[in-house]
């Protein structure tokens, strides 16, 4: 962070002084996802920018805290609960509490999105085999999920 | 709001089911500013989209709550404290507590930005004549401010 009121966008969804971080530790189930923390301490919630590379996907998980997402780059698809939704630029996505969710980029372009969360939040839960079995009973969801 | 997890962007920074509202009541000091509430109750903070039309400006004010801004359309300038800053697309702006601020669009294009705030926030204060006199001691600020 610069410490000043302004952080410049450098182009390509990179910002002055904001590191491009690992989305989660290596070994967790995800593919080609990075994280940048745009606004953190001292404000309202935390606003992060996530980018999922072509063919990549976020971790299939659920938690009590809410995700509020604004797509700002490319397009993709999201599982929310038992529905697979198409995402386009500037679409808004809300993930309710305790709802399974996963975001995927298409094979040919990245999916970049802002994600707003409370600063205080619970640890995500990953699906047990029984959860996966239930999700896979819905053919569209079974085709979508990656673990 | 649709009530579902997805709110589609209709193009041109308008969203399905989200009304374009007045920024403030008529008679307050501003020019050509609209507001759309993207995320509100039930989540982390509130995320709003503000659009300032060409030549328009927001109200010069200050308050205890923090503003966290992401420019998503066009460009503009912002007064924050005693500095006038150039804003480009995807630049990030933080307005600290109790800091005079105003945003202006250029004459030839709109300035659109996401603004994140806490749900609980104090009422903005407008400058007294003595505050304006102090601000106008800085030539760049005196040229910038609109009341």
**DSSP element (H, E) containing A48:** strand A46-57
pLDDT of residue B43: 61
CA-nearest of A48, A79, A95, A82 to A147 is A79
Q: Which of B90, B112, B118 to mutate to test the interface with A (most CBs of A within 10 A)?
A: B90
- Give B29's DSSP letter: S
Please check whether residue A89 touches B, CB under 8 A: yes
A114, B114: Cβ pair inside 8 Å? yes
Q: Classify burial at B26, counting beta carbons within 10 Å of its beta carbon; exposed 0-12, middle 13-18, buried 19 or more.
A: exposed
Is-catalytic flag, A115?
Answer: yes
Pick from B1-10, B24-33, B54-63: least confident: B1-10
User: Which residue's structure tokens are 């994280």?
Assistant: A35
Alpha-carbon separation of residue A114 from A52, A82, B11, B87 (angstroms): 12, 23, 18, 19
Q: Are A73 and B146 in contact (CB under 8 A)?
A: no
Is 70 exceeded by the pLDDT of residue A72? yes
Predicted ipTM? 0.93
pLDDT of residue B1: 40
pLDDT in tens, A96-143: 999 999 999 999 999 999 999 988 889 999 999 999 999 999 999 999
Which residues share a beta bridge with A6?
B93
Please check whether residue B92 touches A, CB under 8 A: yes
User: Which residue's structure tokens are 């009422």?
Assistant: B123
- Which pLDDT band, with edges at 50, 70 and 90, does B40 fall under? confident
Contacts of residue A83, defined as CB under 8 A and 6 or more positions apart, other chains included, come to A141, B5
A80, B47: Cβ pair inside 8 Å? no
pLDDT of residue B2: 47
pLDDT in tens, A21-55: 999 988 899 999 999 999 986 666 789 999 999 99
Is 60 exceeded by the pLDDT of residue B75? yes
Please check whether residue B6 touches A, CB under 8 A: yes
Question: Phi and psi (nearest 5°) for A135?
Answer: -60, -40
Single pTM value for the model: 0.94
Average per-residue pLDDT in chain B?
A: 94
Q: What is the mean pLDDT of residues A82-106?
A: 97
The angle formed by the CA atoms of residues B96, B128 and B33, to the nearest 5 degrees, is 60
């Amino acid at each position: 962070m610069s410490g000043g009121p302004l952080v410049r966008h450098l182009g390509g969804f990179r910002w002055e002084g904001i590191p491009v971080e690992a989305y989660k530790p290596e070994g967790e189930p995800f593919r080609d996802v990075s994280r940048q923390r745009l606004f953190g301490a001292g404000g309202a919630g935390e606003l992060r920018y996530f980018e999922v590379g072509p063919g990549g996907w976020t971790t299939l998980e659920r938690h009590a805290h809410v995700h509020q997402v604004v797509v700002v780059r490319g397009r993709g698809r999201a599982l929310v609960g038992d529905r697979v939704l198409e995402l386009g630029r500037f679409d808004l996505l809300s993930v309710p509490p305790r709802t399974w969710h996963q975001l995927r980029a298409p094979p040919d372009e990245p999916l970049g999105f802002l994600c707003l969360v409370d600063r205080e939040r619970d640890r995500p839960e990953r699906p047990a085999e029984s959860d996966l079995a239930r999700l896979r009973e819905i053919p569209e969801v079974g085709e979508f999920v990656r673990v």
